[in-house]
Amino acid sequence: MWAGCGVDYINAVLRSEGAPVMLPFGADKESVRATLEAADGIIFTGGGDVISMTYGEEPHPKSFYQDPARDEMELEAVRVALELGLPILGICRGIQLINVALGGTLYQDIPSQISDTIKHYSSGLAPMLLHTIDIEPDSLFARLFGSDSLAVNSWHHQSVKDPGKGLRVTAKARDGVIEVIESDNNKPLLAIQCHPEEIAVDYPHFQKLFDWLIEEARKYAK
């Protein structure tokens, strides 16, 4: 058992002049609330699959790396963050977790549950841009990147299926797989399926996501 997160997340926050603090693993509800009441924003990072029973489905044979303690803690953290109005950025598992917390569902294994898909799990030897996403023009994501399409990296075999309450789909891969969701009522919530923290040094435009979070965090702090 260990607790932590990839150093790429920490460095991405630092580059945007934020101060990263990790939420203690396995924290109870009181500890989660106390930590978030002291925070100005939150990132839900990548990781293993959200347990399917949390959204009312039996497990797919190809689901893996489930962690019930992490699910319980992070689902509570989503609820508290939304209650407090904290700016939220979700990454990979994070987009899936946020969607489930708001009543949505997931495709548990893209290759076996969606026909005619492109490759979504990179097998490259180094971080790389793997496929293209198409972006809704009147979205927060489009405003951040100033484009209607974007090449992204990709490390996932699950994805959003039915969006949760209060969420809007604002980008999809060209096979229809959902890649970005955000608030449908202008709350500071943005969640993406790719891993910007991994490639922001080589592709600096991805740093905009962390710049956005820190800017929103400063507004929240005031």
Enumerate the active-site residues: 92, 195, 197
Residue found under tokens 């978030």:
36
Closest CA to 179 of 92, 111, 87: 92
Using alpha carbons only, give the angle 28, 69, 62 rounded to the nearest 5 degrees: 160
Could you tell me what percentage of the chain is helix, strand and coil, using 3-state DSSP and rounding each to the nearest 5? 35, 20, 45
Closest CA to 177 of 113, 122, 123, 128: 113
Give how far the C-alpha of residue 191 lies from the chain's centroid of Cα atoms, to the nearest Å: 4
**Where does residue 184 rank: exposed (0-12), middle (13-18), buried (19+ CB within 10 A)?**
middle
The DSSP output letter for 165 is T
Residues in the chain: 222
Assess contact for 84 and 70: CB atoms under 8 A. Answer: no
Residue found under tokens 């507004």:
219
- How far apart CA 82 and CA 17 sit, in angstroms, is 23
Sign of the dihedral defined by the CA atoms of residues 73, 52, 194, 48, in that order: positive
